[in-house]
Amino acid sequence: MLLKLRESDKVTWVGTHRAAIDNLGVYPRPVQDLLPVWIAVGGNPGSVIRAGDLGLPLVLAIIGGTPERFVPLIELYRESAHRAGREPSRLRLAINSHGFIAENSQDAAETFYPPYAQIMTKIGRERGWSPMTREQFEALRARRGSLLVGSPQEVIEKMLYEHELFKFDRFLLHLSVGTMPHDQVMRSIELLGTKVAPIIRKETARSPVVEAVAGR
């Protein structure tokens, strides 16, 4: 229905999750033509295939494990789009990960670990995961782990590594997981914009858009 709404002023729609729509207008219209619509997925192959079938840009959340294990999902996405006859130029890819940047690696780790461990342990109780430990945290901080927590240079190296894996167009860095000190989150955003993003844009031929998401 969302795709129908962005394609025309008036829509007729019959589905299973809401009342039918009979030639109703939706206003105001978006400035963009077409309104950008991205599909966000985790590790579900069915969701990846659906995004490819629809020919929509994909946001892949990598918040655990190692990034390389997600490579087959991106291949599946692109293969699905190809089979559906979708336009390759519309197959944009974003990676979404948790992270935090400080002037040096140890400060980043010490600031980020307590709130991150608290919130991930809480989520784990709901989903059947074991409590987050410092050893697990440090493994996720390693070059082949999913967390981008460290100095600007460490985060740059990790983003470039993931660009080699995925050839992404956009990287969404979620900087505040749990209750983080506001001033340090703001400093992390500043470091992302002034130290990390310019190098990523310079080193990647496709000039990805790098965004910070300071969620609470």
How many domains does one find in the chain? Answer: 2
Question: Does residue 215 carry a pLDDT above 60?
Answer: no
96 lies in which domain range?
38-213
Same domain, 85 and 176: yes
Same domain, 23 and 51: no
Q: Tell me if the pTM is above 0.95.
A: no
Same domain, 22 and 52: no
> Which SS3 state, helix, strand or coil, does residue 194 take?
helix
The 10s digit of each residue's pLDDT in 7-64 is 888 999 998 988 999 999 988 888 888 889 999 999 899 999 999 999 999 999 999 9
The 10s digit of each residue's pLDDT in 56-90 is 999 999 999 999 999 999 999 999 999 999 988 77
Yes or no: say if 93 and 168 are a contact pair by the CB < 8 Å rule: yes
Question: How many Å from the N-terminal Cα to the C-terminal Cα in the chain?
Answer: 30
